[in-house]
């Protein structure tokens, strides 16, 4: 589909291309880390999912390891997802403390690991310059900006998928590394989020078609990945049955997977193009890059490594978006699991368009790191789409509420009791009661204010 241009492209003088490309990569790493660690704004766990996961992890951190087979939320079994993501967050909290601030730092740590995987993997696949441009693409994605500050499960899922897709791309050129990364990434993603982790199988199908001689290796690797992923879940099942805790898989399939696929547990959406609005608003840079990629003049500028990186990014992006579009249960932020695919798409196209110019005229050793890290300060935490009824209260009234210590808040808003209870209880250590009950503070849907005594 792509043809390499025969016209010479202006590049840096011989001997200076490689050092400048690595300097550009260093600048991009600094930008990505700056968007994670030094962005302004309060540490807010937005929505209810992050709060619930952090509360479950906090309870695990305080419990003996022998009881970790059954994570609990407010004393009840929490079987909505496989427990690996909760276990890892609990290990972190056990080491540094179980607080909302440490949960926020956990999201930042996962985002840092994702930056490392994208950096090292893209350098191996396409070189330092496409890796730098991919990181810059990642750093401007609102999905990455939001997930890197909110400990959800989409970020560890994205980490597992990126690892597995990198392994698939290396399948034909490495004997052990490629298969190992596919198996490890698939197992990690499945143990964190369940069936969406099997999206790595699409990468194996792409690798087999891209290099037919690797078809047999791709098939063996796919079987091994499925066996290892299923073996981990089976091991959890055996552990729970052994201690008399009951099955994980039966309630997980009955109450989580099947309703999500066919009826919708909380947000049934049957429109297959549901994500178009989210993509247009939250991933606009990628859509603009894809539009440029349709132009023949742009495609001709892509070298072989850029084409391969572009294909890998598109396979990851389309697999996640289409996979989550099929099921009835949908949330706009599900597509954030494809953030690395978006980044690779931007990186490949940008390298074909401006890569040579960047390493010729940009002086990244001094100017780019300082300028771009400064620009990173302009990024602010992005609120979660359609699930931030408390965000204004968080940001404007946090010091006052924390000054009160643990308090009782009467929920007199349209916000559901379950959502209010979990959001307030984690961030402020508050206990939420119905509007008619006695409380020190009252939430009316806009602000939190003291209850006026008669």
Domain endpoint, select from 318, 351, 376: 376
| Structural domain containing residue 53 | 17-376
Identify whether 7 is part of a domain. no
Q: How distant is the alpha carbon of residue 149 from its chain centre?
A: 10
> Where is mean pLDDT largest: 56-60, 265-269, 351-355?
56-60
From CA 417, how far away is CA 262, in angstroms rounded? Answer: 26
- Band (pLDDT 50/70/90 cuts) for residue 159 is very high
Q: Could you identify the residue written with the tokens 């193009």?
A: 273
pLDDT at residue 276 greater than cutoff 50? yes
pLDDT tens, position by position, 115-143: 999 999 999 999 999 999 999 889 888 78
384 in a structural domain: no
pLDDT tier at 419 (50, 70, 90 boundaries)?
Answer: low
Reported confidence tier of residue 359, pLDDT bands at 50, 70, 90: low
Comparing 60-64, 81-85, 289-293, 317-321, which segment has the lowest mean pLDDT?
289-293
pLDDT at 172 over 70: yes
Same-domain check for residues 256 and 337:
yes
Q: Give a yes or no: residue 154 inside a domain.
A: yes
| Cα 266 from Cα 20, distance rounded (Å) | 51
Domain identity same for 300 and 441: no
Q: What is the pLDDT of residues 87-105, one digit of tens each?
A: 999 999 999 988 777 888 8
pLDDT at 241: 93
For the stretch 395-416, pLDDT in tens is: 555 544 554 456 788 888 776 6
Shared domain for 157 and 231, answered yes or no, is yes
Question: According to the model, what pLDDT value does residue 414 have?
Answer: 72
pLDDT of 231: 97
DSSP, res 413: S
Q: Say if residue 8's pLDDT is above 50.
A: no
pLDDT at 282: 53
- 324 shares its domain with 266: yes
Question: What does pLDDT average to over the chain?
Answer: 79
In a domain? residue 4: no
Confidence of residue 146 (pLDDT cuts 50, 70, 90): confident
| pLDDT per position as a tens digit, 322-334 | 887 777 777 777 8
Same-domain check for residues 190 and 232: yes
Q: Report the pLDDT averaged over residues 342-351.
A: 89
Q: Are residues 208 and 272 in the same domain?
A: yes
Q: Max Cα separation, the chain? A: 83
Q: What is the pLDDT of residue 5?
A: 36
- More confident site: 70 or 273: 70
Question: Is residue 1 domain-resident?
Answer: no
Residue 59 has pLDDT above 70, yes or no: yes
- Identify the pLDDT of residue 327: 78
Place of tokens 């099947």: 258
**Single residue among 376, 400, 429 that ends a domain in this structure:** 376
Residue 13 is predicted with a pLDDT of 43
Residues 95 and 163 in one domain: yes
- Domain count across the chain: 2
Are residues 338 and 203 part of one domain?
yes
Residue 12 belongs to a domain? no
Tell me: do 278 and 363 sit in the same domain.
yes
Averaged over 383-396, what is the pLDDT? Answer: 49
Domain stop point among 332, 351, 376:
376
Scored b (16 or more CB within 10 A) or e, 171-201 reads bbeeeeebbbbbbbbbbbbbbbbbebbbbbb
Which neighbouring-strand residues pair with 76? 73
Q: pLDDT band for position 376 (50/70/90)?
A: low
For residue range 102-114, list pLDDT tens digits in order.
888 899 999 999 9
Higher-scoring residue by pLDDT: 9, 100? 100
**Segment 24-52, tens digit of pLDDT:** 888 888 888 888 887 655 555 666 688 78
188-242 tens-digit pLDDT: 999 999 999 999 999 999 998 866 678 989 999 999 999 999 999 999 999 999 9
What Å distances lie between residue 32 and 111, 122, 134, 227, 353, CA to CA?
A: 9, 15, 10, 35, 21
CA 77 centroid distance within chain? 25
Residue 350 and residue 446 in one domain? no
Give yes or no: residues 98 and 215 share one domain: yes
Within a domain: 5: no
The pLDDT assigned to 377 comes to: 52
Kindly state whether residue 386 falls inside one of the protein's structural domains: no
Q: Does residue 245 sit in the same domain as residue 205? A: yes
């Amino acid at each position: 589909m792509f043809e390499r241009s025969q016209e010479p492209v202006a590049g840096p003088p011989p001997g200076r291309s490689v050092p400048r490309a690595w300097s550009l990569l260093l600048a991009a790493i600094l930008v990505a880390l700056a968007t994670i660690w030094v962005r302004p704004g309060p540490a807010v766990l937005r929505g209810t999912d992050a709060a619930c996961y952090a509360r479950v992890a906090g309870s695990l951190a305080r419990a003996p390891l022998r009881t970790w087979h059954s994570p609990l939320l407010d004393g009840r079994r929490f079987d909505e997802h496989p427990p690996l993501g909760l276990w890892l967050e609990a290990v972190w909290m056990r080491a540094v403390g179980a607080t909302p601030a440490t949960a926020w730092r956990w999201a930042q740590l996962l985002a840092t690991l994702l930056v490392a995987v994208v950096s090292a993997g893209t350098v191996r696949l396409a070189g330092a310059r496409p890796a730098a441009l991919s990181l810059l693409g990642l750093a401007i994605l609102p999905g990455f900006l939001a997930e890197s500050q909110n400990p959800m499960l989409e970020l560890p899922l994205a980490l597992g998928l990126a690892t597995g897709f990198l392994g698939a791309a290396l399948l034909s050129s490495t004997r052990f590394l490629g298969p190992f990364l596919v198996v490890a990434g698939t197992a990690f993603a499945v143990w964190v989020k369940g069936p969406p982790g099997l999206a790595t199988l699409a990468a194996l199908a792409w690798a087999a078609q891209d290099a037919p001689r690797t078809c047999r290796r791709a098939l063996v690797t796919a079987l091994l990945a499925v066996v290892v992923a299923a073996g981990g879940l089976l091991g959890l099942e055996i552990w729970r049955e052994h201690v008399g805790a009951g099955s994980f898989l039966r309630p997980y399939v009955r109450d989580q997977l099947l309703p999500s696929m066919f009826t919708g547990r909380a947000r049934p959406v049957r429109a297959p193009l549901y994500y178009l609005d989210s993509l247009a608003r939250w991933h606009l840079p990628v859509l603009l890059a894809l539009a440029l990629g349709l132009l023949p003049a742009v495609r001709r500028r892509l070298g072989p490594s850029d084409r391969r990186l572009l294909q890998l990014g598109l396979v990851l992006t389309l697999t996640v978006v289409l996979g989550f579009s099929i099921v009835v249960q949908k949330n706009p932020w599900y597509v954030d699991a494809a953030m690395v695919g978006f980044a690779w798409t931007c990186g490949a196209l940008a390298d074909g368009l401006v890569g040579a110019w960047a390493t010729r005229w940009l002086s990244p050793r001094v100017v780019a790191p300082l300028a771009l890290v400064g620009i990173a300060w302009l990024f602010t935490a992005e609120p979660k789409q359609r699930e931030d009824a408390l965000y204004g209260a968080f940001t404007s009234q946090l010091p006052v509420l924390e000054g009160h210590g643990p308090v009782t808040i009467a929920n007199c808003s349209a916000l559901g009791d379950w959502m209010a209870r979990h959001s307030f209880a984690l961030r402020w250590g508050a206990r939420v009661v119905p509007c008619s009950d006695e409380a020190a503070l009252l939430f009316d849907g806009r602000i939190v204010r003291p209850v006026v005594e008669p």
